[in-house]
Amino acid sequence: MLGATALAASGDSESVANAGFPALNWMNIRDSRGVELTHYRFATSPGSLFEPLETAVAVVLGLEFAGYIVIVTGAIWVIGYTMSFHWLDPFGRALSGIARSLDAQIGIPMVLIVATSIGAFIVAWFVLRGFHARAATQVVTMVGVAVIGPVFMAEPLEDVLSSHGLMSQGRDLGISVAAGLTGHTYADPAGLVATMQENLADNFARQPLQVWNFGHVIDDRAACAASWTAGVQRGSESAVVSGLRACGDLAAYHAALNPSMGQVGSGLVMLLCAGILLAFGAYLSVKIIWSALDSIFHGFAAIFGFAAGGFVYGPTQTFLVRNLVDSFYGAVVMAVYIIYLGLYVLFLDNLFDQAPGQGTVVLILGAVVEIVGLLQFRRLVGALHQGNEWIVNRFALALQQGPGGGGAGGGGGGSTALGMGSSGLDNAGVPGLGLIAGAAALGTLNNNPASAWLFNRVSPLEPHSMKRQSAMLDQWGVWNARWNGEKAGGPDGLATHAYLDRLHLSHAARDATAVARNDGRGGVNTARGAAAAVDGVLVGGGAFLGQVAASLRGAGFTDEDMIQRAVEARGYLYKHAGDVPLTDKNLAEVVAASNYAASMNTPAAHAELERAALTYAFGREGVELQGSARRVGEEYMAAPSREGLNRIQKVASGEETAMYSAGDAAQILRWIGDEHAGRVSETVTDYITDPSNAENRRRFFAAQNAAIDTDYWATEATRSPASALAPGG
C-alpha cells in the first residue's frame, strides 16, 4: 500500500503500468489484433484506504492475473517454438561438428580393414559349417554397409539435420496433415504455426480475460474491441475503462469499477483449466523435441555401425540396424506427435469458434476432454514404441537366421534368441495384433447382410443402431406417404414443395439488397444492406423473425454477427414500436428505431433507423397544393402549432369556414403528413452517416419531433394527417 501511494504521488504509476511483464516480452506472443499478451491489463478499481475490502480483492485479482498471463504466454511460446523447429538449429550445428570429428577419428582405413576381416572370417566359418544361406546374407549385408557407409560418413547426420532431412520432412508432413484434417486449405508450416499462436492467444488470453474482467466478450462490438485494444496497447487501465464507457458498454464499465469475490473465483477456475489445457500442449511439445533428439542420437550412433560394427555378424549388425530404423522411425513418431499437437490446437480453435462469447465454458469442457486425450496419447505412444521394436526385430531376424540350411535358416531359433517368438496374431511377442484381428472380425460381422437380416437392422453392432433404424423408417414413411392422391417425396412431391418458401424468401432478401445497393445504401455484408434484406423477407411473406437469418444466408450474407445484429434491431422494433402512442404506425416505428439507435449506437441500429424512415416516407401520393391552400400549408410547416392544425381540421370537417374549402383542408392535412415524412427521410441519411455531427443530429430530431407533435395534436380532433381522406374519398 505504501509503495502504491508513493508511485501515485510521484506520477510514475503510468510508466510502471506500461512495463507489462518485461521478463516475458522477448517471447513476442501476440493475439490476432497484434497486441502482445504481456501488455494485457486486468482493469479494475484499486480501492482506497476507506475501502479495504475492495483493495484486497483487487490485489488478489492482480496476483491471479499475473499468474494466468505467465502460464498462458509461456505455454503458447513453448508450443509455437517447438513447431517452428528453431530449437533444432543450435543442436544441429553442435552435433554436426561432433559427428564430423568422430568420423575423422574412427572412419580410418585401419578400423575398416579390421572390421571387414572379422566379417570375412565369419562368412568363411558359415561356409565351413554348411550355413550357406547365412553366409550369403552376411556377404550381402557387408556389401550394403560398404556401399551406403561412405555416403553416410561423407556428411554424418546430414539426412537428419538438413533443411530437407528427416526432421524437417517429418515436421512439414505433420503440420500439413493436421491442417488438412481440420479443414485448413493452406499447408505453409510457418504460416500455420503463426496462425496457431494467434488463435491460442485469442482463445486462452484475450477472450477469457474479457469474460473474467467484464462478464462477457467485448470483441463482439467493434467499437469496444478497438477501445480495449487501444487502452491495452497504451498500458493504461484508466484508458481501458474510459474506452468502455465511450463505446457504450456500460455493463463492462461497471464491472471494471466494482471488483468482486465472484471475479476471484472465476480467476481460480480459469487459472486451473487454462493451466491444464496448455500444460498438455507443452507436454506434447516436449515429446516432439524428445523424439527429434532421439532420432538425432540414433543417427549419431549409426556412425559406429558404418565405420566398423556393420561388417561384424551379431549384435553389432543389429545395433546398426536398430539405429537406422530408430532414426527414421523417430522422424515418423515426431510427425505423428506434431499431427496430434496440431489437431489438438486447431480442435481447440474450432471449439472456441463454435461457442462465441463462452470462452470460460470451453476452457472447462476442454479440461475434461483433455483427460481422454491424455489417455489416448499414452496408448498412441505405447503402440508406436511396440511398432518400432517389431520392425527392428524383423530386420534382425532377416540378418541372423537360425541354425539349419536353406532359405529359412532356422528362423524359429533366431526368433527365440531375440525375444520375438512366432509372428502369429495370437502370440504375445506381437502385442496388439490379436486385438486388431478381433476388431476386424467384428467389423466383418457388423457389415454382413446376414447380420442385418438376423437383427432386423443395418450395422447392428454400432452405437444407437436401433434409434437410427427407427428414424430412417419414420423418414421413409413421410416421403412415401400420399396426401390427396399425391406422393410426398420426389422433386414434385408435396413435402418438397414445403421447402420452397425458403427459396422464395432468399430471393426476396436478395432483391431487397439489390435495390438498396442501387440506391447507394450498401449491398451484401453491409449493415444497411442487411436492414433492407430483413425488410424484404418480412414484406415478401416471412411470418416470423426466425426465418430471416436463414433467408439472409441464402441471399449471400456471410457475416454472422451482422445478420444477428440486423435481426435484433428489427426484433426491437417489433417489440417496442407498439408502445409509442402515435396514430401513424410508421412514424411510431421511426421513433422506436431512433431510441434504439441512440441507445446502442451500432451500424445495425442506424441502418434500421434509416429503413424505418424510408418506410415512413414510402408510398406517399405527393399532394400538390395551389394558391391559398399552399400558403396555409407552408405557414404551418414553418411554425407548427396545435392551434394552426386544429383550425385546418375544423375547416376539413365543416365546423369552420375559411378562404379555402373543406376539400382543400383535407389536401393540406395530407400534404403536411407527406412533408413531415419527406423531411424525416431527407435528414436521416446524413444523421446515420455521421452520428457524431451535432448539426445532422439536430436536423433529424427536429424533423422527427415536428412530425410527432403534429401527430399528437391531430388526435385531439376528428381527423389526422395520417387518416385524412383523399380527394373525393
Domain boundaries, given as residue ranges, for the chain: 422-458, 500-617, 627-714
User: Grid coordinates representing 602?
Assistant: 451500432
Distance, CA of 657 to CA of 655 (rounded, Å): 7
Contact 313, 149 (CB under 8 A): no
Question: In whole angstroms, how far apart are CA 527 and each of 122, 602, 674, 681?
Answer: 85, 9, 27, 18
CB contact at 8 A, 675 and 624: no
Average the pLDDT over 343-362 and give the result: 68
Burial of 626 (C-beta count, 10 Å sphere; 0-12/13-18/19+): exposed
0.75 surpassed by pTM: no
Alpha-carbon distance 439 to 294, whole Å? Answer: 33
User: Can you list the alpha helix ranges (DSSP code H) found in 260-314?
Assistant: 261-307
Q: Residue 104: its pLDDT value, please? A: 60
Q: What does the pLDDT average to over 83-96?
A: 69
DSSP 486-523: EESSSTTSHHHHTTHHHHHHHHHHHHHHHHHHHTTS--
Q: Other CB atoms closer than 10 Å to residue 707's CB: what's the count?
A: 25
CA distance 683 to 700: 5
pLDDT tens digits, residue range 531-559? 888 888 888 776 666 678 888 888 889 88
CA–CA distance from 4 to each of 55, 61, 162, 238 (Å)? Answer: 11, 16, 54, 16
pLDDT in tens, 5-27: 333 433 333 433 444 677 777 88
User: What is the C-alpha to C-alpha distance for residues 95 and 89, in angstroms, rounded to an integer?
Assistant: 10
- DSSP H stretches of helix in 577-661: 585-600, 603-617, 627-638, 642-653
Largest CA distance in the chain: 142
The residues near 710 (Cβ < 8 Å, ≥ 6 apart) are 640, 645, 672, 673, 676, 721
Q: What is the dihedral of CA 689, 692, 694, 695, to 10 degrees?
A: -20
**What DSSP element (H or E) covers 482?**
strand 482-483
Residue 186's pLDDT band, with cuts at 50, 70 and 90, is low
pLDDT at 433 (0 to 100): 54
Nearest one of 436, 400, 440 to 420, comparing CA atoms: 400
Across the chain, mean pLDDT equals 75
166-175, 322-331, 414-423, 685-694: which has the highest mean pLDDT?
685-694
Average pLDDT, integer, range 127-151: 73
Question: CA-based angle 549:684:219, to the nearest 5?
Answer: 45
590-618: pLDDT as tens digits:
999 998 888 888 888 888 898 888 888 88
Between residues 351 and 200, the one the model is more confident about: 200
pLDDT of the residue at 708: 92
CB count in 10 Å sphere of residue 567: 19
In the three-class reduction of DSSP (H, G, I as helix; E, B as strand; rest coil), residue 619 is classed as coil
Question: How does pLDDT run across 199-252, given as a tens digit for each residue?
Answer: 888 888 888 888 888 888 888 888 888 888 888 888 788 888 888 888 888 888
Comparing 5-14, 348-357, 501-510, which segment has the lowest mean pLDDT?
5-14
pLDDT digits (tens, 9 = 90+) for 268-326: 887 887 777 677 777 878 887 887 777 777 776 776 666 666 667 666 667 777 777 77
The C-alpha cell at 392 is: 527392428
Are the CB atoms for 159 and 165 separated by under 8 Å?
yes
In the prediction, which pLDDT does 480 show? 62
End-to-end CA distance of the chain: 81
- How much is the average pLDDT of 172-198? 71
Euclidean distance between CA atoms 181 and 192, whole angstroms: 13
- Please say whether the beta carbons of 589 and 577 come within 8 A: yes
